[in-house]
């Protein structure tokens, strides 16, 4: 499948790019580290890195495609007799100030590990561009459900789009585990979530204004996944929406509504919430129509508001330019 990169910004080499793999495992093997303790790409996996060229050729290729090149790094040198401590605030501050002094922009993203909290994020959100707020997200519905609470808490703490040294910073819900994945110690993707669950996760990521990163094998992406992660309406929400927060938490499995204040009220179980096409007869009040020659728009008009103009969402291509200096 031919892929357009017009709506993409970054190509990122993730964890263990420096490991020389053994057999069919994605984890077992030997780390490629030079005499100075610096990690090197494995020449068998990255042939262009031979002769200690590192990622020079890969980065040049990515840049020639109009994309920025990213790399996952572990801080410091780890030895058996001296493991070192966590990346401290002083070091994060120093790195942030150095990057801020460069002529070309570099996105600084942190991965603090499991169970980060808004309180932890308050100390670093002004120093970096993005920071992980979840564990590694795999394609399991239980993981997606847990992310709703995380997104709610960070939105309620006013941490989405907080001012940082270069633009704004964004809580990162992790890469989207879509498409062909590599589960732990195997090389075949599990594909454990349905298309409806994938829609739900992509919508949550965009409403939470999380960085949108595709976690599957881009060489094996299909039309369904590509259409979902490049959906112009969702990406517009991700880039241009504001004041996003949880309005209420609705339990569709029982006749209770949990308000944003977490008080419980019993209500008649009359309605349910679902996504459907505008052409569905059950989509009362919604219509899809032509507008201004070739443009289309989806409109909603309540039967009780005959004298008012309908609310419409226009179908259009996602604009590349943004008001943000650093896109989420």
pLDDT at 317: 54
Rounded (5°) CA angle 137-159-126: 105
pLDDT at 89: 83
162-164 vs 167-172, strand pairing mode = antiparallel
Residue 319: DSSP 8-state: P
Residues in the chain: 328
Burial 52-61 (b: 16+ CB within 10 A, else e): eebbeebbee
Mean pLDDT for each 10-residue chunk of the chain (328 residues)?
57 75 60 77 86 87 85 58 61 88 84 80 90 86 89 92 86 89 55 86 95 84 89 90 77 43 48 61 75 72 71 60 40
Give the pLDDT confidence score for residue 135 in this predicted structure.
Answer: 84
Q: What is the per-residue pLDDT for 216?
A: 83
Angle at 202 between CA 159 and CA 146, to 5 degrees: 65
* pLDDT for the residue 260: 43
The pLDDT score that the predictor gives to residue 190 is 55
CA distance 300 to 59: 46
Its pTM stands at 0.65
CB atoms within 10 A of CB 4: 8
Listed residue (214, 266, 157) closest to 10, CA to CA: 214
Note the pLDDT of residue 281.
72
């Amino acid at each position: 499948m031919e892929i357009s990169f017009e709506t993409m910004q970054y190509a990122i080499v993730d964890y263990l790019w420096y490991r020389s793999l053994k057999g069919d495992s994605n984890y077992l093997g030997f780390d490629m580290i030079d005499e100075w303790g610096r990690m090197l790409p494995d020449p068998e996996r990255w042939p262009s890195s031979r002769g200690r060229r590192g990622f020079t050729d890969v980065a040049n290729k990515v840049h020639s495609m109009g994309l920025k090149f990213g790399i996952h790094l572990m801080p410091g040198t780890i030895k058996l007799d001296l493991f070192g401590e966590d990346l401290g605030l002083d070091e994060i501050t120093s790195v942030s100030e150095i990057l801020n002094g460069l002529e070309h922009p570099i996105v600084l993203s942190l991965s603090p590990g499991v169970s980060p909290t808004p309180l932890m994020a308050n100390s670093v959100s002004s120093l970096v561009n993005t920071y992980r707020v979840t564990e590694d997200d795999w394609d399991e519905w239980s993981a997606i459900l847990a992310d709703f609470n995380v997104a709610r808490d960070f939105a309620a703490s006013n941490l989405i789009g907080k001012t940082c040294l270069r633009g704004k910073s964004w809580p990162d819900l992790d890469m989207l585990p879509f498409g062909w994945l590599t589960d732990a110690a195997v090389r075949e993707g599990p594909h454990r979530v349905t298309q409806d669950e994938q829609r739900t996760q992509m919508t949550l990521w965009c409403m939470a204004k999380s960085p949108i990163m595709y976690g599957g094998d881009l060489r094996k992406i299909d039309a369904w996944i590509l259409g979902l992660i490049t959906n112009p309406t969702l990406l517009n929400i991700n880039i241009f929406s504001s004041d996003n927060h949880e309005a209420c938490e609705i339990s569709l499995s029982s006749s209770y509504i949990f308000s944003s204040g977490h008080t419980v009220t019993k209500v008649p179980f009359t309605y349910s919430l679902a996504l459907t096409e505008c052409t569905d007869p059950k989509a009362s009040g919604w219509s899809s129509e032509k507008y201004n020659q070739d443009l289309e728009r989806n409109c909603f008009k309540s039967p009780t508001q005959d004298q008012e103009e309908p609310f419409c969402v226009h179908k259009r291509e996602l604009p590349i330019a943004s008001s943000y200096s650093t896109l989420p």
